[in-house]
Amino acid sequence: MGESFRLNHHFLASFLITITIATLKSVYTTTPTTNTEFVKSACTYTTYPRLCIASLSTHATLIQTSPKLMAHAALNITLASAKATSAMMVRLSSNVQLKPREVSAMRDCVEELGDTVEELRKSIGEMGQLNSSNYEVYISDIQTWVSAALTDENTCTDGFQGDEMNGKAKVFVRGRILFIAHLTSNALALINHFASIHG
């Protein structure tokens, strides 16, 4: 009887250890895939899903399966890109080879990007403080600011239209601003998706 109990007890302990190890392996091997799948799935709500996946997949572990964290990450990536482009354009606008019209458009664009950066910063700040008591007001503010950032970016590219703006500066700036506008558009789509789930 005692021997039988010990054998059963030993078997049960071994069985539980095996189950625990299998479960832990499953958690650690499937979670990143689940997180990545969540990012891919959420990106289908955006206008530029390939860009969304490319920019957010590396943050899948941080995002986990949270629509709020995904929108927050998208805003942070957009802000970093806007700041880097703004700094690059400040340097570019002092290039002596640029035409006066190009310098003027470049400086206007830097100003618009400054507004974009400020609007994205405010959005990120409120997204971080979002809770059930302030949700309605804050989500509305965030949507308004991100929409305004998108308008500023489009205004920036408008300044590079026209035949006299056919140089490398136009191609380069429009390409960079278009990239930020696509990131912003995706961020706004993810914010709207989060709002629709929460609402």
**What is the per-residue pLDDT for 100?**
81
136-to-12, 75, 120, 189, 198 alpha-carbon distances in Å: 53, 19, 18, 17, 10
Give the pLDDT means over successive 10-residue stretches in the chain (199 positions). 47 48 44 79 95 94 92 96 91 77 84 94 93 89 96 86 69 88 96 86
Structure tokens at 88: 């690059």
Structural domains of the chain sorted by starting position, each given as residue range(s) with its CATH number in brackets: 10-198 (1.20.140.40)
Average per-residue pLDDT for the chain? 82
* One-letter amino acid for residue 74 of the chain: A
Query: What's the pLDDT score for residue 20?
Result: 45
Can you give the pLDDT at residue 181? 95
Cα separation, 102 vs 166, in Å, equals 10
Query: Residue 33: what pLDDT?
Result: 62
